[in-house]
Amino acid sequence: MPARLVIEGGAPLRGEVPVSAAKNAALPALCAALLTSEAVVLDNVPDLADVATTRRLLARLGAEIADDPDGATRVRVANVASHEAAYELVSTMRASVLVLGPLLARTGVARVALPGGCAIGVRPIDQHLKGLQKLGADIAIQSGYVEARASRLKGARITTDLVTVTGTENLMMAAALAEGTTMLENAAREPEVVDLARLLVAMGARVEGAGTERIEIEGRPELGGARHRIIPDRIEAGTLLVASAITGGDVTLTGAAPRHLTATLAKLEECGAAITVDGDRVRCQGPARPSAADVITSPFPGFPTDMQAQVMALLGVADGLSKISETIFENRFMHAAELNRMGARIETDGSTAVVRGVDAYQGAPVMATDLRASASLVLAGLAARGTTEVSRVYHLDRGYERLEVKLGALGARIRRVA
């Protein structure tokens, strides 16, 4: 049977906990190593299932990957050995599509399985493909695979129809080896995009405007190796802060990036938590009972869709009625039904959820459906009366580094059962 988490709820969390490096910055940084024959050394790659999947994918493409004695991850792709990201990997992790841009730009050929749907929605990659076509690639869809070819990509002006995070990252990486200048309009402004830009600059590209909606990239014929430290994970940080808020606890994060957390911190304050920021430390003192609040997810710097499930768990026990609008993904409320099994009163209708706060959750067996949904069930379990058993925690392990160990260090009664 896959591992489960067993949680005895009711203990307020207290103490200090360090924030891990960001999953969604580590994955593009690892893939950027495909752009050069020299080594890319990443200082603080988190130990996550999605990182292991990315390492497997890169190894198949010819990467030598070593763990340095100082803990850094060294990726070197002296020669590209294969051009293919197989369905078996892409279907377990959509972010595998991040090899498309760099492979095509470096070798002129890439074959990547179409990701198709996933638990949280349809999630097409049409914007990635349209952008690469603008850079001069020939794209064909053959037997479920994207087949991309180009002699040398050429810089272009690309305006995406919507804001896409990995789309922006794929196009930035491709443009970094293209001839001439690329202008990305309507670019994603997420901190993970800015972090990738920083790495590309260290590798020799010129990238300006990352963090705004217009990014200019001047390509180079070749890029070199670099050493890079990945930004802290704003979603792990937010999840730990909700753990403090929902248990009426007092938790301080260390090594956080508060400037990436503004929307989450503002919402926690609206729910009655007391937030104190001091450098890279963020303290959250939870209220006796959270207040209701409305949430609308939107691209950065708006409220992140990747925090929607966790905040729903908090609002489930708030005093009053809250409304949550999910504007990024069409099917990201699967945790609502599981929270209802714990006594919540949540009704969803399309992209809206109405949450009527209840006094308390009751422990129950629940099932994780995706990464952030599993985090929301763990959070509800921490606050619940009685025992909660969260099954399918492999979803959680994709994106949280030993979450139960961190929560346990803060006083949570939580254990993993094989």
Residues labelled as active-site residues: 118
Q: What is the closest distance, in whole angstroms, from the C-beta atom of residue 137 to ligand EPU in the complex?
A: 15
Given the rule CB under 6 A, which residues bind ligand EPU?
24, 27, 94-95, 121-128, 162, 164-167, 192, 305-306, 328-329, 371-372, 399
Whose Cβ is closer to ligand EPU: residue 31's or residue 384's? Answer: 31
Q: How far apart are CA 282 and CA 158, in angstroms?
A: 38
Q: How far apart are CA 57 and CA 261, in angstroms?
A: 31
What ranges in 108-154 are assigned the alpha helix state H?
126-134
Q: What is the closest distance, in whole angstroms, from the C-beta atom of residue 228 to ligand EPU in the complex?
A: 17
Q: What is the closest distance, in whole angstroms, from the C-beta atom of residue 305 to ligand EPU in the complex?
A: 5
Contact yes or no for 362/296 (Cβ under 8 A): no
Whose Cβ is closer to ligand EPU: residue 39's or residue 313's? Answer: 313
Beta strand spans in 241-377 (E): 250-254, 274-278, 281-285, 295-296, 321-325, 345-349, 352-356, 365-367
Whose Cβ is closer to ligand EPU: residue 220's or residue 260's? Answer: 260
**N residues, the chain:** 418
**Can the peptide bond before residue 124 be classed as cis, meaning omega within 30 degrees of 0?**
no
What ranges in 47-190 are assigned the alpha helix state H?
49-60, 87-90, 100-107, 126-134, 165-176
Select from 81, 121, 138 the least CA-distant residue to 297. Answer: 121
Whose Cβ is closer to ligand EPU: residue 89's or residue 364's? Answer: 89
Q: What is the closest distance, in whole angstroms, from the C-beta atom of residue 275 to ligand EPU in the complex?
A: 22
Whose Cβ is closer to ligand EPU: residue 9's or residue 46's? Answer: 46
What ranges in 61-99 are assigned the alpha helix state H?
87-90
Q: What is the closest distance, in whole angstroms, from the C-beta atom of residue 418 to ligand EPU in the complex?
A: 24
**Kind plus residue range of the DSSP H or E element containing 376:** helix 371-383
Select from 301, 38, 83 the least CA-distant residue to 193. Answer: 301
